[in-house]
Amino acid sequence: MLTPQRGTVLGNRYELTDHIATGGMGEVWAATDTVLRRAVAVKILRDALTDSSEFIERFRAEARHAASLTHPGIASVFDYGEDQSIAFLVMELVPGEPLSRMLAREGALPVNTALSLLAQTGEALHAAHTAGVIHRDVKPGNLLILPDGTVKVTDFGIARAVDSVPLTATGQIIGTAQYMAPEQASGGAATAASDVYSLGVIGYEMLAGVRPFLGDSPVAIAMAHLHQSPPPLPASVPATLRSVIERALAKSPADRPVDAMAFANEVRRIQIDTLAPPAVAAAVLGAGQSPATSAALAASTSVMPANGIGSATSVMPAGGVAVGAPLIIVRDPLRRQRRKLPGALLLILLAIVGVALALRAGDGGVPARAFLAAASTTTMVETTPAPTTVAPKATPPPPTPPADVAVTAPGIVVDPNALIGQKRDKAVKILQTLGFQVDQRSVSNSGADKNTIVGVEPSGTLARGSLVTLLISDGD
């Protein structure tokens, strides 16, 4: 039998160069693809797994499914092979460290760091779920963090293949009891909601520095997931974030966020609200959504401008709203003096909705005049006491396409009018938080105050990671 070591060539193609790690699934090596002349990672599976023909068959299928996923937050799977009784998986070589190592070194992470990692992971999981792939083993060891803070999720589909191998005292190879959803702990099937639960456990650990459930054995920990409530998160964690994590850790899948993207969007709103007024966040934030959904998300954020006077404190109905249905925006006049927002932002949001509906019209959707009808039925209701927010109704998950459908990166709507006039540091931080690369260019004779934004290039719906140039006044 072939012994993996430096210089070993697998499949007459992949030359092992450096040992990276050893885990429950096997060994991970850095390698060189001698055909394409590129660096890759090779995961060599444990002998105990490859002795099972059922596992091998199932793993081949799962590797094909994982290889179909195309998303910046998912480590790409390039190839699967077998060589002299060695089964191996060839993946993207990610120059980062696992979140598990970061947590072991640092304990609780800063809130903004946790928010960024949670949002990115939720978006990546949603892309996989949309393609019909459930991870089943979401844990810090499977989240690789790049030096710039980018998350790469690894090991999609492996857990399902491992499920086909009987677990013995020496075969407890997944080690996921600490992050296992209650339905998995009770022997039920894993779903997209199970991945959301596991992400909630990770979020709790990042914020508290410890896992929510501890025990002397995997069985004891699994029982805790089934029957115990997690201890409260530290008081330093914002109440809105505590609420998101608590709902993700709900025992019943139906009580959790409706999907991983809903979880990510809630986290993104909290993240952006710490950097800019909520109305700016509403105009800029569109992560993971089509233009139409981005507009709906902007309209359903916790605060948005209302005729340029005061700020809205709730929007009814929330969630999916049929075009042409009345939209009631409830405002609290007591908040007028605390946050004055330009009425132009409302026009920006309405313009985004109009563009979205125009795009839908090209696909057989409602015509643009339907949007005008919806706008004309908008009702403003003044209230002195704080209004009651109507919770969004749960919507069924989107239909699952074939597993060989590639999922591309979600777009993010960038409206330049939401950034023009902002100070440079704030605008840069907003764009970087949303995952963009930022360039800065000085502009003379702009008539604007020094270090304020006077232009944004490009704008519109951009892919995460795109380069956005901020035009900054030099004050002359």
Cβ neighbours around 220 below 10 Å, total:
12
Distance CA 196, CA 180 (A): 10
Q: What kind and span of H or E run contains 29?
A: strand 26-33
Could you give the CA distance from residue 39 to residue 41 in angstroms, rounded to a whole number?
A: 7
- Residue 288 in contact with residue 261, Cβ under 8 Å? yes
Size (the chain), residues? 476
Burial label for 388, CB within 10 Å (0-12, 13-18, 19+), is exposed
Helices (H), 368-423: 368-376
Alpha-carbon span 34 to 40, nearest angstrom:
10
Structure tokens at 1: 């039998």
Element (H, E) at 128: helix 111-130
Secondary structure element (H or E) that encloses residue 18, with its range: strand 14-23
153 strand-pairing partners:
74, 143
CA distance 406 to 60: 18
For residues 449 and 426, give the distance between their C-alpha atoms in angstroms, rounded to a whole number: 15
Q: Is beta strand 379-382 parallel, antiparallel or unpaired with respect to 437-443?
A: unpaired
Residue 78's nearest CA partner among 164, 154, 25 is 154
Rounded to whole angstroms, the Cα distance separating 89 from 384 reads 61
Q: Is the peptide bond before 333 cis (omega within 30 degrees of 0)?
A: no
Give the full edge-to-edge strand order of the sheet including 328-331: 312-316, 328-331, 379-382
The span from the CA of 197 to the CA of 215, in Å, is 19
Q: Which of 33, 79, 137, 476 is labelled catalytic?
A: 137
Q: What SS3 state is found at 448?
A: coil
Whose CA is closest to 331, among 302, 294, 374? 302
Known active-site residue 273: no
In 243-396, beta strands by DSSP E: 312-316, 328-331, 379-382
Please give the positions annotated as active site. 137
